[in-house]
Chains A and B, each alone.
Chain A
Amino acid sequence: MTDQISEGYVILMTGLLIVFSALVTLMLFFKYGLPLMLYTYKIITKGKEKKISEIKVVADRDFTGEMSAAIGAAVHMYLREQHDHESAILTIKQVKKPYSPWSSKIYGTQNRL
């Protein structure tokens, strides 16, 4: 009996210690580890973006603002004038109505079933 209880105390102490340590590690991770991870991830991904942005745009000196305005206007007009192509085929669909007795005369008051 006393042996059991002393073992119980051991379990009590170690158990509480482990529960606390588990949640403390979780806490520490999410307090310090996770922001660090996200920060490094950000740096890594930013590095990649830099590589892409390193491609140099060679300026064309002959390309003036007037030209780009003209191109822009042309594209705008083209898009505005554009019609969507509609099918020119006309068909008359036969409409089949299912039988509906809503106004049927056979259900009138004069006719008995």
Chain B
Amino acid sequence: MKKVIVIFCVLSLLIFIRPALGLGTNTNSNNINSSKTTEQVDTIEESNSYSGAFEGLQQFYNYTGFANVTSGHAIMILIGIIFIFLGIKYDYEPLLLIPIGTGVILGNIPFVAGNQTGIYETGSVLNYLYFGVVKGIYPPLIFLGIGAMTDFSSLIANPKLMLLGAAAQIGVFATFLGALYLGFSLPEAGAIGIIGGADGPTAIFLSSKLANGINILADGTTVKNLIGPIAIAAYSYMALVPVIQPPLMRLLISKKDRKIKMKPPRAVTQKEKMIFPIVALILTLFISPSALPLLGMLFFGNLLKESGRTERLADTARTKLIDIVTILLGVTVGASTQADIFITKDSMLIFGLGAISFIIATCGGLMFAKLMNLFLKGDNKINPLIGAAGVSAVPDSARVVHHEGLKSDPSNYLLMHAMAPNVSGVIGSAIAAGIILSFLG
């Protein structure tokens, strides 16, 4: 044992000494060189080598983050840390916030441009990964996974709840109009509006098509690159659903209405579940073909799940595949918030509009549920709270509705009922994205 330790010590000593020896030889050669050049004036020799070393150090310093840091970088890194903190400490969508937070830090490490480091420099690794965001590749893959996870049976059992998913899309179009009034161009406004759909992948998909910084507008100017702010706004408001929605619910829905118990949904046969994705795929895409990448993948994933023959594929889609894509999407979207591009007046406006669109979407769903109740009789009446689940944010908003229902009546279980408008909200926002894309794309 002692021998081993001795050998290890000797080896490690050798390893540590070697650079010293190497340094020695270097200095020797330097001396030789300098002796050649400084035959005339001996005193300059020393100062030359010192200044050389100093210049090297200074150049190194110029490349470090410390030299290039700006207040923007510092703010964004702080935001990244806050995201990570929120994800870990309060469990606010940690699967999204932790990758995005890390991405925000990654994207805001100050660097000297031109070394293929940054996400916006062609050829850099992050730029290649970002390609999936810019070209809208990741969102459909995520939708595939969501389709393979989602159970549409509550929607099939009670098809009228689909209307709630449509009603919540009022938020999308109202925000679109608001953004127009604030001076955004049409495609930018369309991309901002979709934040109200409360659907991260859809928002990224639409903004990558409309506000990608590449398209050229009718008046000759290029659209702004708003993918980063829109994605961050969409995801952060999705994480904030438990904070935003309950006050609105209490404000709009009376205590008596909150206690309405809905009759349990009927059992849905496997045959119906299999038919649903195929029929919904054909019907929705015939109406809004531009939503094809999103809805096509969503219903394809659902068919994989319900067909009963492709459990392996469905399993991969809803676990490994969606995890991989979420990692890539989170990090690159986070990294796309490079301070010089992200901290602008537009981003602040987008955050404001996003909050408003969320509120309008929630109110739209709630009010429409109340309206539907006017026409429904007896035990067919729906609990208006589930209207709030019409903003997609699957499954968070359904969970919030459930909790809010439990608060007013501890024996009222709304989760299954709320899932119906929730999933139809996903379909609705994808259709809305398709419509906006076909108008403005």
User: What residues make up the interface of A, taking CB atoms closer than 8 Å to B?
Assistant: 1, 4-5, 7-9, 11-12, 14-16, 18-31, 33-34, 37-38, 41
Contact = CB atoms under 8 A, between A and B. Distances in A.
B176 A8 contact: yes
Contacts of B166: 19-20, 22-24
A15 B275 contact: no
Given A4-B185, A4-B186, A7-B186, A22 B284 contact: yes
A15 B276 contact: no
B287 interface: yes
B65 interface: no
A12 B177 contact: yes
Contacts of A20: 163, 166
A48 B279 CA distance: 26
Contacts of A25: 283, 287
Contacts of A5: 177, 180-181
Interface of B: 155-156, 159-160, 162-163, 165-166, 169-170, 172-174, 176-177, 180-181, 183, 185-186, 189-190, 269, 271-272, 275-276, 279-280, 283-284, 287-288, 424, 427-428, 431-432, 435-436, 439-440
Contacts of A33: 279
Contact of B169 (A14, A19, A30, A41): A19
A18 B189 contact: no
15 contacts: A4-B180, A8-B189, A11-B439, A12-B174, A16-B169, A18-B288, A22-B283, A22-B284, A22-B431, A26-B159, A26-B162, A27-B163, A31-B159, A34-B275, A34-B279
A22 B287 contact: yes
B165 A18 contact: no
The residue among A4, A19, A25, A29 with the most chain B CB atoms within 10 A of its own CB is: A19
Nearest to B185: A4
Contact of A29 (B283, B424, B427): B283
A10 to B, nearest CB: 8
A19 B159 contact: no
B173 A15 contact: yes
Contacts of A24: 162-163, 166
A23 B165 contact: yes
Nearest to A1: B183
Given A26-B284, A30-B159, A12 B173 contact: yes
A63 to B, nearest CB: 41
Contacts of B176: 8, 11-12, 15
A8 B186 contact: yes
Given A15-B172, A15-B432, A37-B275, 7 more contacts: A8-B177, A18-B287, A23-B166, A23-B428, A26-B280, A27-B160, A29-B159
B283 to A, nearest CB: 6
A19 B440 CA distance: 16
Contacts of B189: 8
A19 B177 contact: no
Contacts of B279: 29-30, 33-34
Interface centre among B155, B183, B280 (most CB of A within 10 A): B280
Nearest to B279: A29
